[in-house]
Structure 1
């Protein structure tokens, strides 16, 4: 009987260990942006949520300064209309952790002034569990499309964005850029410019050496080669304050862009029609290690073998 009890305890330990391996995830809302009125409007939190997977038991962390922001959970109707008169709950002290205790849709807004109308709102969908990993399937070919024109920043335009570089990072996130597409940079002449730079210059905000500079708005820049493109401004500290854009261009709608591709290097010009820069950059990040999963499996197997040995 004593051996049987020990065996059961060992099995329970294994179960507890496996449960720990699927522990809850804490999602920091907006990551480094935090919870505030976002630059460029509601797309900032929409994009952030699209990059997450929410399951029951996960935690949302709203980082904000007490007295400057708050967070309210509301109904969908209140979310759509930014009506904060009867919230499901209201929290005024930051930072605040909210546990997702049921599957379904959740809606959050800021109730101060017109914060919700200016984009301080978050809608997410929570799944009951992560579920099994789907079996791999052959990729569906992307339909071929013609060249598209993208207005950089949309209504925000090309300027020093409120809240920093996340504005243009967010703008580019859900877009697919193909060879032949055109970027339009809208700005007020003599207050901004568009500089095409290398990746190193982009990272360090060093604009002493540029591939090309365009000073007359609107700048219409045609993406003529596959690879990575980097844009910023040569005006003092504009790059440091977030006026920078990095995109990756695919050769065609069905091809994967190469790690490096060389295109003709344009000369400096004030013309609003632009050739492409020298493309290319770092390779994709390595896949996440499977070592933790193997470690847990090894520990689990060891405990089970001990339990069986004790029984016999």
Structure 2
């Protein structure tokens, strides 16, 4: 076998290795996985999927997976205008069988909604931005110090006059991180705060709770990532809308400023999301090393061929 033939075979083999490395480097994103959601109407409104998307980096070639029960949900890729108005009359594509996969084959913004009755207005919508893999990941958002949130602000923790939309609206534009605190203000003897599972939250069954707090103000420090659920054990309070669902994302590394406010003395560390989903580990750098090595060897082989 001549030297040029051997070199040509090396080029072919290394090209195959490079192709394999690129395939390995692709990422499959399961929508809502770190929140324990899947693809459904989220309890906290559209902020749930917006928050999930903020924790991901999407590059060309990645795959987006929507897990849902066929017949109960669907997913449509739509334009920005249709996304903003929840108009599903002319989608770019529509998939009705779960799980549904979308390959992210171009850079730019992608928009997805559920087309079933009121699902999109209730928060079943996802917007993502896809970048070129050669551009590298976007810089992470600037970290911040922990924040103390007063649930409902001036409304406090009560049976809201407008039903559960009051607390979902309150939580809508807020980003919760590990280390933040929730303060529940109520009149002792008329309310309480129960930390519950998603099943108990959905059914308003408070016969089994993770924790119950009866003294106001109650301050709960958020110590784990994922969805956290709160309601009241008082009769019919949950059914009338005294319930709150929020998503907690990864911890900030910025130290608290010296002038930061401290929680009230009744502060408790409830760890309401214990046992729930945690942030995924950092991606391995092995694929990038394979690509780099393959490129170097391919260059050497080509030079040798000539």
Distance in 2 (alpha carbons) for counterparts of 1:28 and 1:83: 24
Alignment-derived partner of residue 185 in structure 1: 184
Contiguous gaps of at least 5 residues in structure 1? 160-166, 196-204, 208-212, 256-262, 267-272
- TM-score norm. by structure 2 comes to 0.60
Alignment-derived partner of residue 6 in structure 2: 6
User: Does the 8 A contact of 2:14 with 2:297 survive in 1?
Assistant: yes
Alignment-derived partner of residue 290 in structure 2: 296
Number of matched pairs: 254
Q: For each residue in 1:240-265, what CA deviation from the matched residue of structure 2 results, as whole angstroms up to 9, or x when unmatched?
A: xx98997968751489xxxxxxx9xx
- TM-score norm. by structure 1 comes to 0.59
Alignment-derived partner of residue 259 in structure 1: none
Taking the TM superposition and a 5 Å limit, the aligned residue runs for 1:9-88 are 9-23=9-23, 24-31=26-33, 32-88=36-92
Local SS of the residue matching 2:68: coil
Q: Does 1:215 align with 2:206?
A: no
Q: Does 1:115 align with 2:119?
A: yes
Deviation at 1:11, TM superposition (A): 2.6
Greater length-normalized contact order (CA 8 Å, ≥ 6 residues apart)? 2
Distance in 1 (alpha carbons) for counterparts of 2:270 and 2:190: 28
Deviation at 1:185, TM superposition (A): 2.6
Distance in 1 (alpha carbons) for counterparts of 2:37 and 2:255: 33
Aligned Cα RMSD in Å?
Answer: 5.4
Taking the TM superposition and a 5 Å limit, the aligned residue runs for 1:191-210 are 192-193=192-193
Q: For each residue in 1:70-117, what CA deviation from the matched residue of structure 2 results, as whole angstroms up to 9, or x when unmatched?
A: 111111111111111111121111111111111111111111111001
Deviation at 1:175, TM superposition (A): 3.5
User: Does the 8 A contact of 2:28 with 2:63 survive in 1?
Assistant: yes
Contiguous gaps of at least 5 residues in structure 2? 160-167, 196-208, 239-243, 272-277
